[in-house]
Structure 1
Amino acid sequence: MTKEEKKVWLDLYPEEIPATIDYDEKPLHEFLIDTASRYPEKKALHFLGREMTYRDLLESSKKMASFLQSLGLEKGERVAIMLPNSPQSIIGYYGALMTGAIVVQTNPLYTERELEYQLKDSGATYMICLDMLFPRVKTVKNQTDLQHVIVTSMKDYLPFPKNVLYPFVQKKQGQHPGKIEQTENVHHWKQVLKQSGDGVKQVDIDPKEDLALLQYTGGTTGFPKGVMLTHLNLVANTQMSKAWLYKVKDGEGVTLGALPFFHVYGMTSVMNFSVMMGQKMILMPKFDPEEILKMIEKERPSLFPGAPTMYIGLLNHPKIKDYDLSSIEACISGSAPLPVEVQDQFETITGGKLVEGYGLTESSPVTHANFIWGDRVSGSIGVPWPDTDSKIFRTDTMEEAEVGEVGEIAVKGPQVMKGYWNRPEETEKVLKDGWLFTGDMGYMDERGYFYVVDRKKDMIIAGGYNIYPREVEEVLYEHEAVQEAAVVGVPDPYRGETVKAFLVLKESKTVSEEELDEFCRKHLAAYKVPRIYEFRDELPKTAVGKILRRKLAEEEKANQSEENAQ
């Protein structure tokens, strides 16, 4: 049997999706250069009322590249970008890539400790940040390799009169960036673009080998690791997106940019995809459900890549029915499991398609998805993308599992990372013979659809039984009072571990522990039913909206340690 015959999922592909793609072996930033030459006057982005064409976006990116080169930036140096979704985040990203630099996306929510760790680990020598974040950068700068910092403000791209009013809004919100003096090492964004030409020194880039990005993982196990993604990794995954979204026409359409670009999912599915396709991006600096609803009605985006908590946040907004959301045609949900209830409700309200996909930072990120237009299976992450192979391996023997048997999901394809930055031993643990071992437990059915049952490390073992938190969460999401749910294993003297559920209830809804217990017992085997419930106003999440089970588990362990010590 040939390798292609083993890929049973290819029989499911609609005729519009190719099994294999002829990838453009070119630097990632050439997407912007190509699109600006084809659609110079087309609007590239919309930012809080101000718009910018592809011609202007390219010109500004070239000016940024020229300025960085004038400071002495060499190919392979790292440029950290610590910005919310904004014109600056896109200009800085493509400008840095044009110089042959490696972009290090930095979460604006990072504490000084987290920031210092990432800057030290990456060895970043240049940084672009927001004025209100500059005090944090300044505090850690001397402990890092940073040489130059370019500082910008949100008001730099706001339209009149928002740009005039912005400092007063900052003050009202308790943000006091203060006056930042321009020095030989600290540069003001507006001055940089004003004084720079758009001449960029050509740099030879090997798309297969040269890194475009160091993307740090969330640190679910130990310290965050820098994932090395090449230009071709990111180009390939973006072109796979185009193949999957085959109804999206070149030079048409609008994408809602609510996913942060400092997360690889937002970077690929919104920024790189929109730039490649010549679409307009609606940039949302933060996720505010009411602002998102207003923006959908006003700007009429057709694509809305997101995370489950985003769709949940919109569905539970009291005024959702006051807005016209009918422009939404397609959404691929990633970063966390998509509850079936959420999928059904969102499709009913918008009339569009919402499907679950799957990926991880180490794969640029997407490897699997359901078909947007065509056959799909609720509760499944779908099938592998073009040129992507996937298998289930038994965790004890490392042999390939049978159809329907749970094991560790592994993937292989042109979007898979080169490895972890300066961590060869960690790389060897997850990259074996070209296969990326994901750490996620799942299975494949006879048709080739894949299912994630849970993170290998999140699995709960209670009384000798294996319990997957996602299965329990799916049931809890079906209860009419539950808005968000997270299930973790907590220490138990008798069972080893027991199941605890953390819940956020919908506004004006109530439910007792007894009612939840009764509800769960109707849908779950007795050993899977939560023994403890805790109600909260909110659950800890990553910037992209992924609920942090790990943090909840750590809190539980710390609480138990305190109790035992007393």
Structure 2
Amino acid sequence: MSGAGRSDRSRGRDSNLGYWLRDAAEAFPGRVALIDLSGPVPREVTYAEIDERMDRVANLLSDAGIGAGDRFVLSVGNRFEFVEILFGGMRCGAVPVPLNFKLSEDSLAHIVRDAACRAAFVETAATERSVAVVERLGIERRWDVGGDGMGGERGGAGWLDYESALAGSSPRFDPPRLDARRPAFQPYTSGSTGKPKGVVLSHEGQLWWVRCLRKYWPADPGDRALVAVPLYHKNAMAGAIKPLLQAGASVVILPGFSPEPFLRALSGYRCTQVGAVPAVFAMVLDRMDLIEKLDFSALRKVTLGSAPVQPELMDAVERAFDIEVGESYGLTEGGPVMIGPGPDGRPTPRGSCGAAWPEGEIKLVRDGSEDPEYGELWVRNPGVTTGYHNLPEVNAARIRDGWLATGDLFFRDGEGFYYFRGRTDDMFNSGGENIYPKEVEDLLLSHPDVRDATVVPVPHALKGAVPAAVVRLRTEATVTAESLKRYTLERGPAYAHPRRIAIVEEMPLTGVGKVDRAAILGVLGDGGAG
């Protein structure tokens, strides 16, 4: 093959996020990259194997007519196939749309329609709502992930077995040359209206992010991370998958979280680091009997993030594992924002998310002007989203001259460290999941007996905050608070169902006719939820 041909392919890889793992695969082909604990026996996947499977995914999509700019659904649980499909799809220029399959069917349908997805990879045995949406919207090119590899239509009519299809595709893929500004993938995050917003992330910006990880958070080939949070969340990808796999290290993937399997995997696989939402470790600390019995001597790093972290929890985790615990901050659309310890090596104070990222810009804005100490956090760096999909008004409001208004409120101390203080809107975080009251209110209002509903966050010992609701019923309605809870559990994500529901005759209002949220908390009692 000519030198020009090799150069073209090299340029195609250099501008494509799908190839971020290629260097490690060439340097450590036989080393174990992923250890998947989702099946009856652990599945070890080497660097050479997953790199080849990514090429097969690219060929599979290309052969199906899916190419540059085409979106496809990725609704797969915590298993190694999620990683290969996500990045393999990017290799042919297609744009993965990872789904939070815990969302309501209506929300999932909105995402798939908004993204105009042309294909779907779905774990049909575990993501029933995604299956229903893909079938209802008539997506013809669809593969059932996680089958037995025996072929056939396991998920029903039109579903092809992913493993069989992958085996039939070529193990080598020649990448197209893509403009680095092209979309790499498009995750969705909820907006101020409660509707999911598509966050367009470019190849160029995400490759810069990968280079930053290598520079500021370098991993060692001997490192091993444990992932128990969903792979569709940034916490897992940015905290474990990308930094470790580009270094030849390994990642252990749990199918989900429960304290005992988490602790046994952390100990048994000699994991050196783990990141999770605070609620995970709040529950882990209930198993001190197991913590005292198991060996965690390999563990060197614990990072909590994706939700407000209480200093008392960090102290308790440090005592339990005899290790320093850090706090992280990030957002899907904002690239890297803060780093801790500080760039000059100073330790991060307790309660702080860190200092400003060395290669990015951040500022605090209050009342339309920059404030050195307190305000809404604005960020500008190459990793910031190129825009919210199909939302020009949101883009105009939130992205200005490359600056992204995050909606997060921060305090900056005299030493340059930042402390999270809340949100500019009424969104609240529950155990790492963002909840918008309007979304839960709309779900309650879809019940035929409910006339009005208001949802507010109340304190929770493990999750920080959970939803609670005050509801006004229609005349002669017979529905109970418990049946309304079941109604929301059956039709929406479990984490968003109201833990407490008070039924009232009149909704408390302020003098200007708006719902009085302070009075709502009074109706609900002391505001706590067990």
Aligned: 1:293 with 2:257: no
Structure 1 residues 269 and 238: alpha-carbon distance in aligned structure 2, compared to 1, 3 A threshold = farther
Structure 1 CA distance, aligned partners of 2:254 and 2:46? 17
Residue of structure 1 in register with 2:32 after alignment: 43
Structure 2 CA distance, aligned partners of 1:90 and 1:256? 15
Aligned: 1:347 with 2:347: no
Residue of structure 2 in register with 1:427 after alignment: 395
Structure 2 CA distance, aligned partners of 1:261 and 1:321? 29
Aligned: 1:191 with 2:164: yes
Segment of structure 1 superposing worse, 316-325 or 432-441: 316-325
Aligned pairs for 1:113-132 (under 5 A) are 113-132=106-125
Post-superposition offset of 1:505: 7.5
Residue of structure 1 in register with 2:449 after alignment: none
Residue of structure 2 in register with 1:74 after alignment: 67
Aligned: 1:233 with 2:226: no
Structure 2 CA distance, aligned partners of 1:458 and 1:59? 45
Residue of structure 1 in register with 2:382 after alignment: 414
Structure 2 CA distance, aligned partners of 1:498 and 1:425? 26
Residue of structure 2 in register with 1:388 after alignment: 360
What do the CA deviations read for 1:275-333 (whole angstroms, capped 9, x no partner)?
A: 21221110111111110100011101112121111121211225332222232211332
Matched residue of 1:393: which SS? strand
Residue of structure 2 in register with 1:101 after alignment: 94
Matched residue of 1:56: which SS? helix
Aligned: 1:210 with 2:182: yes
Structure 1 CA distance, aligned partners of 2:145 and 2:455? 49
Matched residue of 2:222: which SS? coil
What do the CA deviations read for 1:536-561 (whole angstroms, capped 9, x no partner)?
A: x9xx99xxx9976xx759x77x8557
Matched residue of 1:73: which SS? coil
Select the residue among 368, 381, 384 that pairs with 2:338.
368
Paired letter, 2:459: F
Aligned: 1:263 with 2:233: yes
Structure 1 residues 306 and 499: alpha-carbon distance in aligned structure 2, compared to 1, 3 A threshold = closer
Paired letter, 1:35: A
Post-superposition offset of 1:220: 5.2
What do the CA deviations read for 1:16-73 (whole angstroms, capped 9, x no partner)?
A: xxxxxxxx96311222221111110010111122211100111111112111111111
Segment of structure 1 superposing worse, 213-222 or 118-127: 213-222
What do the CA deviations read for 1:343-389 (whole angstroms, capped 9, x no partner)?
A: 1121222233321111111114x311321975111111111222111
Paired letter, 2:254: M
Paired letter, 1:305: G
Post-superposition offset of 1:145: 6.1
Residue of structure 2 in register with 1:223 after alignment: 195
Matched residue of 1:124: which SS? coil
Identity of aligned residues (%): 25
Structure 1 CA distance, aligned partners of 2:364 and 2:508? 41
Structure 1 CA distance, aligned partners of 2:104 and 2:460? 27
The answer to whether the Cα contact below 8 Å between 2:52 and 2:172 also exists between their aligned partners in 1 is no
Structure 1 residues 380 and 311: alpha-carbon distance in aligned structure 2, compared to 1, 3 A threshold = same
Residue of structure 2 in register with 1:436 after alignment: 404
Structure 1 residues 202 and 561: alpha-carbon distance in aligned structure 2, compared to 1, 3 A threshold = farther
The answer to whether the Cα contact below 8 Å between 1:337 and 1:356 also exists between their aligned partners in 2 is no
Paired letter, 1:293: L
Structure 1, gaps ≥5 residues long: 1-23, 157-162, 164-177, 460-468, 474-485, 489-496, 507-536
What do the CA deviations read for 1:110-169 (whole angstroms, capped 9, x no partner)?
A: 33222211110111111111122575445333553623111022666xxxxxx9xxxxxx
The answer to whether the Cα contact below 8 Å between 2:147 and 2:162 also exists between their aligned partners in 1 is no
Structure 2, gaps ≥5 residues long: 1-12, 438-453, 464-484, 510-530
Residue of structure 2 in register with 1:492 after alignment: none
Paired letter, 1:306: A
Aligned: 1:336 with 2:313: no
Structure 1 residues 315 and 238: alpha-carbon distance in aligned structure 2, compared to 1, 3 A threshold = farther
Structure 2 CA distance, aligned partners of 1:335 and 1:141? 29
Paired letter, 1:128: F
Select the residue among 472, 484, 502 that pairs with 2:459.
502
Structure 2 CA distance, aligned partners of 1:256 and 1:412? 31
Structure 2 CA distance, aligned partners of 1:505 and 1:43? 35
Aligned: 1:377 with 2:334: no
Structure 1 residues 560 and 276: alpha-carbon distance in aligned structure 2, compared to 1, 3 A threshold = farther
Select the residue among 24, 27, 49 that pairs with 1:56.
49
Structure 2 CA distance, aligned partners of 1:371 and 1:283? 27
Residue of structure 1 in register with 2:15 after alignment: 26
Tell me the C-alpha RMSD between the 2 structures: 3.4
The answer to whether the Cα contact below 8 Å between 2:410 and 2:421 also exists between their aligned partners in 1 is yes
Residue of structure 2 in register with 1:455 after alignment: 423
Structure 1 CA distance, aligned partners of 2:179 and 2:84? 22
Structure 2 CA distance, aligned partners of 1:263 and 1:220? 19
Select the residue among 256, 259, 275 that pairs with 2:245.
275
Query: Could you tell me the TM-score, scaled by structure 2's length?
Result: 0.76
Structure 2 CA distance, aligned partners of 1:418 and 1:354? 33
Structure 2 CA distance, aligned partners of 1:415 and 1:67? 29
Structure 1 CA distance, aligned partners of 2:455 and 2:196? 28
Post-superposition offset of 1:446: 1.6
Aligned length in residues? 443
